[in-house]
């Protein structure tokens, strides 16, 4: 039974975080007997049977646990094999993740439709050029038409993609390289509708339906592609249309961005619709004056999780931290209001907020937390609702007690949309990925790796992310980031142009010439779709093969914790990328499933999804993959296969 975390914990007490701000607040919590995710994870051992995919709870004949001697040969009461059980668990997790991202995308599409029809208060179309480009990709005519007309048709087409009424294939499948589309069609992996794939996954994993692990996992890939080339890609595009396409800007990250004398409001969750309006409300002169009348110096807005990324990318609002910082922010005593919508919001925030003066405000019609204040958000009075919420937080300022804000921040540059990267590389008159391709071909850049995903309290916060970013740029690998992994690098100062100094000579030379950091912040987790777009454009640019699977690239999710991460990892693999997750394999006991997702998918789609808790091994696996791909492309210089030891890791 594999549970690396448990074994490691016995050998050496695990450090909870490498972030000094986090450590300071965790120490305060421990001293005051306040429960946090960091203390609860020690009190609750992971169930080793469930942790490795050996427990099936899908019907009332069970739960069936396939453990003990000869576990691999055992079956559930219905006869389901270990492989079938593992595949069903994996496919259900993927479907859960896809549903979350895509429902977010659907809400953005609905907002765009409401804007086009004049029903949404205070929203507009901030990037009409992007709207026209999206319309073109959707084969929607733009010539001589009113902006709102085009917007309505684009929004409707997006909604049709969710409903499955846009045609036999999702519209954006056509954005993938031609060879990739052929592979998907050959194996029946082209998604037909976002909702349809999620529903079919739930159906096929119901007891007594699909019982072939490989066939089930094909549906897992198809469902995930409905996210990466459907729901999430639409969420990114339509958010850019509504709220603006990001351009580089400077900001700071970590708990030190909280203000000691202003009203601190934290936006936490995922959907930019609400947070955009909170940004506007927090800058409203009347409300700032109101805050002053209550004794505060002003209003200070900060973010947590992917909402933080949305408002960072477009407004430079500083992130107070990543997933594991949500409780810590409240424990500083300096947060008047934490405004949440959907996903990654810990229920523990509510009892915690009662120990302090923080008002926890839920806003989504989809997500309530008992005990929290619910102010339901709807787009017809978006700005008014946001103002009500900000006023509520200002009124709470007078209840503030002692505060302890850890004085740590990292400077960072964020805001790299795929459009901006294209422009940055080529310049205004010749925007192109050519310089990137050329520098990969000449070896100054060895390859590119996406380091993405969450924090997980079962592993030291930020350790894997920061270590891998550091080691990869040293080896001339360009790093792109999203999600909470991007916050980690931001907090630790790895997203500034100065980071070039620790990059390898080749990568540094390119970064200096282009004027970019070697670690690029591409946004929230739905913005992993930007990475798919970049990879497709790099293939299209030429010289590096004819498919994503030919490129010297990989993706790493070192500290994942949730189903959304598994959905993203699966669509990246199904798109031809080599994907490595840390922490543990959720189906690690199911040999057949492990083999299908690695060797099987490699043979079928040229990508794989593998799990490896050891960061040095991940580094070695990824570097070797990059070298193998360079060799296959004939751009490889003879180098030893890379093997790293523990010493290199501790150098950091
Ligand atoms: Ni991504 Fe964003 Fe963070 Fe993980 Fe949660 S916030 S959608 S799931 S924890 S990276």
* Percent of the chain surpassing pLDDT 90: 90
Residue 14 is predicted with a pLDDT of: 75
Q: If you measure from the C-alpha of residue 268 to the centroid of ligand 1, how many angstroms do you get, rounded to a whole number?
A: 11
Q: If you measure from the C-alpha of residue 40 to the centroid of ligand 1, how many angstroms do you get, rounded to a whole number?
A: 20
Tell me the best of 344, 349, 456 to mutate to test the pocket of ligand 1, counting ligand atoms within 8 Å of each CB and taking the most: 344
Residue 6 is predicted with a pLDDT of: 46
Answer yes or no: do 366 and 276 share one domain: yes
* 326 domain residue, yes or no: yes
Nearest CA to ligand 1 atom 5: 344
Separation CA 362–CA 351 (nearest Å)? 14
Separation CA 396–CA 390 (nearest Å)? 10
Tell me the best of 484, 522, 567 to mutate to test the pocket of ligand 1, counting ligand atoms within 8 Å of each CB and taking the most: 484
Q: If you measure from the C-alpha of residue 280 to the centroid of ligand 1, how many angstroms do you get, rounded to a whole number?
A: 24
Tell me the best of 227, 309, 323, 325 to mutate to test the pocket of ligand 1, counting ligand atoms within 8 Å of each CB and taking the most: 323
* 646 domain residue, yes or no: no
597 contacts 574 by C-beta, under 8 angstroms = no
Answer yes or no: do 329 and 229 share one domain: no
Region 305-323 average pLDDT: 97
Specify the ligand 1 atom closest to the Cα of 526.
7
Q: If you measure from the C-alpha of residue 291 to the centroid of ligand 1, how many angstroms do you get, rounded to a whole number?
A: 32
Residue 1 is predicted with a pLDDT of: 38
Q: What is the pLDDT of residues 52-62, one digit of tens each?
A: 999 999 999 99
**Nearest residue to 565 (alpha-carbon basis) of 269, 348, 344:** 344
Q: What is the pLDDT of residues 1-41, one digit of tens each?
A: 344 444 444 445 679 999 999 999 999 999 999 999 999 99
Average pLDDT of the residues of the chain = 94
410 contacts 252 by C-beta, under 8 angstroms = yes
pLDDT at residue 479 tops 60: yes
Q: What is the pLDDT of residues 76-94, one digit of tens each?
A: 999 999 999 999 999 999 9
Burial class of residue 157, CB neighbours in 10 A (0-12, 13-18, 19+) = buried
Burial class of residue 642, CB neighbours in 10 A (0-12, 13-18, 19+) = middle
pLDDT at residue 134 tops 60: yes
CATH number at residue 461: 3.40.50.2030
Residue 534 is predicted with a pLDDT of: 96
Query: Dihedral of CA 148/153/156/158: which sign?
Result: negative
Burial class of residue 38, CB neighbours in 10 A (0-12, 13-18, 19+) = buried
The model's pTM: 0.95
CATH number at residue 218: 1.20.1270.30
Answer yes or no: do 123 and 56 share one domain: no
The secondary structure of 367-431 as a DSSP string is ---TTSEE----GGGHHHHHHHHHHHHHHTGGG----------EEEEE---HHHHHHHHH-GGG-
Specify the ligand 1 atom closest to the Cα of 270.
2
Specify the ligand 1 atom closest to the Cα of 343.
5
Region 141-149 average pLDDT: 95
Q: If you measure from the C-alpha of residue 305 to the centroid of ligand 1, how many angstroms do you get, rounded to a whole number?
A: 6
Answer yes or no: do 593 and 570 share one domain: yes
Answer yes or no: do 362 and 500 share one domain: no
Q: What is the pLDDT of residues 501-529, one digit of tens each?
A: 999 999 999 999 988 999 999 999 999 99
38 contacts 16 by C-beta, under 8 angstroms = yes
Region 66-76 average pLDDT: 91
Strand partners, 481: 451, 521
Contacts of 139 (CB under 8 A, 6+ apart): 171
Domain that holds residue 33: 4-69
Burial 303-320 (b: 16+ CB within 10 A, else e): bbbbbbbbbbbbbebbbb
Residue 34: Cβ within 10 Å count: 18
Separation CA 634–CA 639 (nearest Å)? 13
Q: If you measure from the C-alpha of residue 194 to the centroid of ligand 1, how many angstroms do you get, rounded to a whole number?
A: 20
Phi, psi torsion values for 480, nearest 5 degrees: -115, 150
Tell me the best of 232, 562, 571, 582 to mutate to test the pocket of ligand 1, counting ligand atoms within 8 Å of each CB and taking the most: 562
pLDDT at residue 640 tops 90: no
Residue 2 is predicted with a pLDDT of: 42
Q: If you measure from the C-alpha of residue 264 to the centroid of ligand 1, how many angstroms do you get, rounded to a whole number?
A: 22
**Nearest residue to 540 (alpha-carbon basis) of 176, 291, 27:** 176
The secondary structure of 274-342 as a DSSP string is HHHHHHHHHT-HHHHHHHHHTT-S-EEEEEEHHHHHHHHHHH-PPEEE-GGGHHHHHHTT--SEEEE-S
Beta strands in 190-296 (DSSP E): 249-253, 263-268
SS3 450: strand
Q: If you measure from the C-alpha of residue 323 to the centroid of ligand 1, how many angstroms do you get, rounded to a whole number?
A: 7
250 contacts 120 by C-beta, under 8 angstroms = no
Answer yes or no: do 420 and 516 share one domain: yes
Answer yes or no: do 230 and 261 share one domain: no
For the chain, the domain total comes to 4
Q: If you measure from the C-alpha of residue 483 to the centroid of ligand 1, how many angstroms do you get, rounded to a whole number?
A: 6
Region 617-629 average pLDDT: 98
pLDDT at residue 63 tops 80: yes
CA distance to 528, 533, 545, 586, per residue, from 135 (Å): 21, 16, 29, 40
Nearest CA to ligand 1 atom 2: 306
Specify the ligand 1 atom closest to the Cα of 344.
5
> What one-character DSSP code corresponds to residue 73?
G
Answer yes or no: do 455 and 593 share one domain: yes
Half-sphere exposure of 485 (CA within 13 A, CB side): 34
Residue 5 is predicted with a pLDDT of: 47
Region 599-615 average pLDDT: 98
Answer yes or no: do 625 and 487 share one domain: yes
Q: What is the pLDDT of residues 427-463, one digit of tens each?
A: 655 678 899 999 999 999 999 999 999 999 999 999 9
Specify the ligand 1 atom closest to the Cα of 100.
7
pLDDT at residue 639 tops 60: no
Tell me the best of 565, 566, 583 to mutate to test the pocket of ligand 1, counting ligand atoms within 8 Å of each CB and taking the most: 565
Q: If you measure from the C-alpha of residue 527 to the centroid of ligand 1, how many angstroms do you get, rounded to a whole number?
A: 11
* 641 domain residue, yes or no: no
pLDDT at residue 220 tops 90: yes
Specify the ligand 1 atom closest to the Cα of 101.
7
Tell me the best of 275, 310, 454, 557 to mutate to test the pocket of ligand 1, counting ligand atoms within 8 Å of each CB and taking the most: 454
279 contacts 244 by C-beta, under 8 angstroms = no
Residue 424 is predicted with a pLDDT of: 87
* Percent of the chain surpassing pLDDT 70: 95
Nearest CA to ligand 1 atom 9: 454
Residue 143: Cβ within 10 Å count: 6
* 248 domain residue, yes or no: no
Residue 401 CA, distance from chain mean position: 35
Tell me the best of 236, 239, 305 to mutate to test the pocket of ligand 1, counting ligand atoms within 8 Å of each CB and taking the most: 305
Q: What is the pLDDT of residues 262-295, one digit of tens each?
A: 999 999 999 999 999 999 999 999 999 999 999 9
Nearest CA to ligand 1 atom 7: 525
Specify the ligand 1 atom closest to the Cα of 453.
10
* 75 domain residue, yes or no: no
Q: If you measure from the C-alpha of residue 453 to the centroid of ligand 1, how many angstroms do you get, rounded to a whole number?
A: 6
pLDDT at residue 196 tops 80: yes
Q: If you measure from the C-alpha of residue 484 to the centroid of ligand 1, how many angstroms do you get, rounded to a whole number?
A: 6
Nearest CA to ligand 1 atom 4: 454
Provide the angle, in degrees to the nearest 10, between the axes of the packed helices 147-163 and 232-243: 160
The ligand 1 site (C-beta within 6 Å) comprises 270, 305-306, 323, 344, 453-454, 483-484, 525, 562, 564-565
Confidence of residue 426 (pLDDT cuts 50, 70, 90): confident
Q: What is the pLDDT of residues 363-389, one digit of tens each?
A: 999 999 999 999 999 888 999 999 999
CA distance to 85, 134, 589, 603, per residue, from 211 (Å): 9, 40, 18, 21
Strand partners, 339: 267, 361
Residue 293: Cβ within 10 Å count: 9
Strand partners, 412: 251
Residue 10 is predicted with a pLDDT of: 43
Answer yes or no: do 292 and 393 share one domain: yes
Answer yes or no: do 107 and 55 share one domain: no
Q: What is the pLDDT of residues 533-552, one digit of tens each?
A: 999 999 999 999 999 999 99
273 contacts 379 by C-beta, under 8 angstroms = yes
Q: If you measure from the C-alpha of residue 340 to the centroid of ligand 1, how many angstroms do you get, rounded to a whole number?
A: 14
Region 418-425 average pLDDT: 88
Q: If you measure from the C-alpha of residue 631 to the centroid of ligand 1, how many angstroms do you get, rounded to a whole number?
A: 35
Last residue of a domain, one of 195, 215, 243: 243
Answer yes or no: do 358 and 286 share one domain: yes
Confidence of residue 646 (pLDDT cuts 50, 70, 90): low
Residue 205 is predicted with a pLDDT of: 98
* 249 domain residue, yes or no: no
**Nearest residue to 150 (alpha-carbon basis) of 162, 158, 141:** 141
Q: If you measure from the C-alpha of residue 455 to the centroid of ligand 1, how many angstroms do you get, rounded to a whole number?
A: 8
Confidence of residue 72 (pLDDT cuts 50, 70, 90): confident
* 650 domain residue, yes or no: no
Separation CA 285–CA 360 (nearest Å)? 24
* 599 domain residue, yes or no: yes
């Amino acid at each position: 039974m594999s549970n690396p975390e448990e074994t490691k914990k016995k050998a050496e007490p695990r450090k909870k975080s490498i972030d000094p701000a986090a450590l300071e607040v965790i120490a305060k919590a421990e001293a005051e007997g306040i429960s946090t995710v960091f203390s609860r994870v020690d009190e609750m051992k992971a169930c080793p049977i469930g942790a490795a995919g050996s427990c099936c709870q899908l019907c009332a004949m069970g739960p069936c646990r396939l453990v003990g001697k000869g576990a691999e040969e055992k079956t559930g009461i219905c006869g389901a094999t270990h492989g079938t059980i593992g595949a069903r668990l994996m496919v259900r997790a993927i479907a859960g993740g896809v549903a979350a991202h895509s429902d977010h995308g659907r809400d953005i599409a609905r907002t765009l439709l409401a804007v086009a029809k004049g029903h949404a208060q205070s929203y507009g179309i901030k990037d009409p050029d992007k709207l026209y480009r999206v319309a073109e990709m959707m084969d929607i005519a733009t010539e001589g038409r009113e902006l709102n007309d085009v917007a309505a048709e684009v929004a409707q087409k997006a909604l049709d993609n969710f409903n499955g009424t846009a045609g036999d294939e999702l519209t954006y499948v056509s954005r993938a390289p031609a060879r990739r589309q052929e592979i998907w069609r050959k194996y029946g992996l082209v998604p037909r509708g976002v909702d349809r794939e999620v529903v079919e996954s739930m159906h096929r994993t119901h007891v007594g339906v699909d019982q072939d692990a490989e066939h089930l996992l094909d549906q897992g890939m198809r469902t995930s592609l409905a996210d990466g080339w459907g729901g999430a890609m639409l969420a990114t595009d339509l958010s850019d249309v509504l709220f603006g396409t990001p351009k580089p800007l400077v900001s700071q990250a970590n708990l030190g961005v909280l203000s000691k004398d202003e009203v601190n409001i934290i936006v936490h969750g995922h959907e930019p619709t609400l947070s955009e309006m909170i940004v506007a409300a927090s800058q409203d002169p009347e409300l700032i004056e109101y805050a002053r009348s209550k004794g505060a110096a002003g209003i200070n807005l900060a973010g947590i999780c992917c909402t933080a990324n949305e408002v960072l990318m477009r407004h430079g609002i500083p992130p107070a931290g990543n997933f594991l910082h949500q409780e810590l922010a409240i424990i500083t005593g300096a947060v008047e209001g934490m405004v949440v919508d959907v996903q990654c919001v810990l229920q523990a925030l509510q009892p915690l907020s009662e120990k302090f003066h923080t008002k926890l405000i839920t806003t989504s019609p989809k997500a309530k937390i008992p005990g929290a204040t619910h102010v339901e958000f709807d787009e017809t009075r978006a700005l008014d609702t946001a103002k009500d919420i900000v006023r509520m937080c200002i009124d709470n300022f007078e209840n503030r007690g002692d505060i302890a804000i850890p004085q740590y921040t990292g400077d960072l540059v964020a805001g790299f949309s795929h459009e901006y990267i294209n422009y940055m590389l080529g310049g205004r008159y010749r925007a192109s990925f050519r310089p990137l391709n050329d520098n990969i071909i000449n070896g100054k850049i060895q390859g590119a790796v996406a380091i993405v995903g969450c924090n997980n309290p079962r592993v030291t916060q930020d350790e894997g992310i920061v270590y891998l970013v550091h080691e990869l740029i040293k080896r001339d690998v360009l790093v792109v980031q999203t999600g909470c992994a991007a916050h980690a690098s931001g907090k630790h100062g790895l997203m500034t142009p100065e980071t070039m100094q620790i990059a390898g000579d080749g990568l540094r030379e390119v970064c200096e010439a282009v004027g970019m950091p070697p670690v690029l912040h591409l946004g929230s987790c739905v913005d992993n779709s930007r990475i798919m777009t970049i990879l497709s454009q790099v293939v299209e640019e030429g010289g590096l093969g004819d498919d994503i699977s030919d490129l010297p690239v990989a993706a790493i999710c070192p500290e994942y914790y949730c189903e959304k991460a598994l959905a993203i990892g699966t669509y990246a693999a199904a798109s031809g990328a080599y994907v490595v997750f840390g922490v543990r394999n959720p189906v690690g006991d199911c040999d057949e499933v492990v083999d299908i997702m690695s060797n099987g998918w490699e043979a079928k789609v040229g990508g794989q999804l593998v799990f490896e808790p050891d960061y040095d091994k991940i580094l070695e696996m990824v570097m070797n993959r990059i070298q193998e791909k360079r060799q296959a492309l004939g751009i490889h210089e003879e180098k030893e296969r890379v093997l790293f030891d523990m010493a290199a890791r501790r150098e950091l």
